[in-house]
A and B are shown apart, each in its own frame.
Chain A
C-alpha cells in the first residue's frame, strides 16, 4: 500500500495513486463550486434585508442591525471555515501522505505538485469570492449621513425657539446644537434651567466623525494612492533591473537604466509626498468634523495632534 517498493515498476504507466488525486481534485472543485453558490444565494438574499433593517432601525447604535449583520457574517464565516477544514483534511493530508512516499526524483512527482497547485489556485479563487461577498455585506453598513445630518439641522431649526424658563416662562433661545444636557441661565430672571437636547440632536455626536469622513473620502483615497506608489514603483524598477541581467547592448542598457533612475526618482518623491497628503487629508477631516460639532473642537484638535505624530 505504501508504494515504496513498486515505485520503479510504475515509472512507465500513470501511477495507481493518480486516480485518487484526480478524484480528490474533481471533488474539491465541485465542493467549492457548491459552497460558492450557497454563498452567493445567501448574500444576495441577505444584502437587501440588511439594508432594510438598517433603514428601519431607530436605535442610535443600530443594535438590531448589528446583531443580524454579525449573524450574516457568522454564516459566511462558517462556509469559509468549512472550506478551510476540508482543504486541510482532504487535499493537504492527501498531498503530504503521497509526498512522503513518492520521491521528488520520480518522473511522476510533478503530478502531485500539479495537483496541489491546481487545488490551491482553486481555493484562492474561492477566497476571493468570499472576500467579495464579505465586502458587499460590509457595504450595507454605509448610509448617507448627509440625510441624517439634515434631519438634525431641521429638528434644531424647529425647536430652537420653543424652550422657556421653568421659573418665569421667558423664552430662552437655544443658540446651538447641544450634544448633552446643559445648564442655561434665563436671560430675564437668571434661573438656571436644564436643557435636554432631543435624541436626534444627541445623535449628532455619533455620526459626526463618519460624516466628516464621508466628506473627505476623496482626500483619503488620494493619500492612499500615493502611499501605494512606493511599492508599485519599486516593483517596476525591480523588473527592469531583472530584464537587463543578460543584456550587453550598451544602448538598451542605457535606455533601461535611465528609466530605472526615473522610476527611483518618482519613488523617492512618493515617499516624501505621501505624508504630506496624509496631513492634508487629516486637516480637512478635522475641519469638517469641527464644523459639524464645534463643541468638540478643543478635544478634536488634541486628537488631531496625536494622530499627526502617530
Chain B
C-alpha cells in the first residue's frame, strides 16, 4: 500500500526525466548502500522497514503505544496539543523501530529519512517522493522545475542571464517571472518537495538540450579540482573549511574558491548537495563527526593563513 501511494524512487525519476538526456549521478545505486554489516535483519530497500513484519503492523503497534500514553496523560489532567501528540508518535516510532529491528541509531535515522514524508509531511533530500499531480510542480510558462534548475545552474556558474534566456528562446521578462514563481512555490510548499527536488536536480547538475552549448569557462586545473571534490570527500571538506575561513576574514569565499581552485559557485554548491544527499542516504554518525572535525581543522589552518596575510589577528599579542 505504501509503495503504491508514493511510487518508487526510480519510477518517479523516469517520469520526470523522460524528455531529457539521461542524467549522470555519482551514486546511482542508493538502494544498495543500506546494508548494515552486523545486522541480520533484511530491510525493504525503499521503506527501510525490516522485512520480517508488515508496515501496517508497525504503524498499528506505534499507534497503540502512543494512544495509551496520550490517554494516560489526559487522564492526569495534561492538556496535549497537536505538537505534543506528534512528538509522542515520533518517539514511539523510534522505540518500536529500534526494538523490532534490533538496530543502532544510525539505521533508525536512515529509516526516518526514508519515511519523513509519510510520517512528518516533510521531504528529505535523497528520498524525495513525488506525486504526479502535485500542483506545486506544474510547469510555469512551460518550464518545469528541472529546466528552471538547469537555468539557475548556468547563471550561478557565471553565465549572464540574458545569454541563458537567449539559448532558451525566451524574453528576459519570462525568466523574471520564473524566478519569482518558483521561489514563491518553494516558500509555500510546506512539504519542501519543490525545495528538495530543486536541490536534487542541483546536485545532479542537470542540463537541458537548449543549454548544452552554454558552458562556463573552466580551467584545466579547475576541472581537475572539481573532479577531485566530487570523489575525495576530504578535499571537499578542506575547501568548504577554507571557504568558511575566508568569510571570517572578510573575503568573498565563493570568489576565493574560484580564483584559487578554479571552481565556480554553481559547481561547488552542486557538489555540496551531492555530499549532503549521500550523507542522508547512508547516515553514519561516526563518518559525519570525522568529516566535520576534519573541516574544522582545515578551517583553522586556512584561518591562520588568512590571518598571516592580513598581518595577524587583533588579539594575537594577548597572552595568558
Contact = CB atoms under 8 A, between A and B. Distances in A.
B172 A78 contact: no
A106 to B, nearest CB: 27
B105 interface: no
Contacts of B188: 299, 302-303, 306
B249 A82 contact: no
A182 to B, nearest CB: 7
B248 A42 contact: no
Interface stretch (A64-72, A144-152, A254-262): A64-72
B120 interface: no
A23 B314 CA distance: 26
A228 B270 CA distance: 42
A180 interface: yes
Interface string A18-54: 0000000001100100110011001000000000000
B173 A77 contact: no
B250 interface: yes
Interface string B241-258: 000000111111000000
Contact of B251 (A67, A194, A302, A303): A67
A38 B184 contact: no
Query: Taking each of A39, A72, A299, which has the highest tally of chain B beta carbons within 10 Å of its own beta carbon?
Result: A299
B297 to A, nearest CB: 14
Interface residues of B, number: 24
Contact of B173 (A78, A182, A306, A309): A182
B315 interface: yes
B247 A42 contact: no
A68 B250 contact: yes
B173 A74 contact: no
Given A302-B188, A306-B190, A73 B172 contact: no
Interface in A175-219: 179-183, 194
Interface string B305-320: 0010000011100111
B21 interface: no
Contact of A181 (B172, B303, B313): B172
B313 A78 contact: yes
Given A74-B247, A78-B313, A82-B318, A194 B173 contact: yes
A35 B315 contact: yes
A75 B314 contact: yes
A70 B173 contact: no
A110 interface: no
B180 interface: yes
B8 to A, nearest CB: 29
B319 A31 contact: yes
B248 A180 contact: no
B248 A38 contact: no
A79 interface: yes
Contacts of B320: 27-28, 31, 86, 90
B57 interface: no
Nearest to A309: B190
B254 to A, nearest CB: 11
Nearest to A33: B318
Nearest to A31: B320
A31 B318 contact: yes
A42 B319 contact: no
Nearest to A27: B320
A42 B313 CA distance: 11
Contacts of B251: 67, 71
Nearest to A87: B320
Contact of B318 (A38, A68, A90, A299): A38
Interface string B179-220: 010001001101000000000000000000000000000000
B307 to A, nearest CB: 8
A67 B173 contact: no
A181 B248 contact: no
B176 interface: yes
Contacts of B187: 299, 303
Interface string A67-107: 11011111101110010001000100000000000000000
B171 interface: yes
Contact of B247 (A39, A70, A75, A179): A70
A268 to B, nearest CB: 10
A299 B184 CA distance: 7
B177 interface: yes
A186 to B, nearest CB: 16
Nearest to A183: B173
Nearest to B82: A309
Interface string B221-262: 000000000000000000000000001111110000000000
B117 to A, nearest CB: 17
Nearest to B300: A81
Contacts of B249: 71, 74
Contacts of A38: 314-315, 318
Contacts of A299: 184, 187-188
Interface of A: 27-28, 31, 34-35, 38-39, 42, 63, 67-68, 70-75, 77-79, 82, 86, 90, 179-183, 194, 299, 302-303, 306, 309
12 contacts: A35-B315, A35-B318, A68-B250, A70-B247, A71-B247, A71-B251, A75-B314, A82-B315, A181-B173, A194-B173, A299-B188, A303-B187
Given A72-B250, A78-B313, A82-B315, 9 more contacts: A70-B250, A71-B247, A71-B248, A74-B247, A78-B315, A79-B315, A180-B180, A194-B173, A299-B187
User: Across chains A and B, which 9 residue pairs bring their CB atoms closest together, nearest first?
Assistant: A71-B250, A74-B248, A181-B173, A180-B176, A302-B188, A34-B318, A299-B184, A38-B315, A79-B315
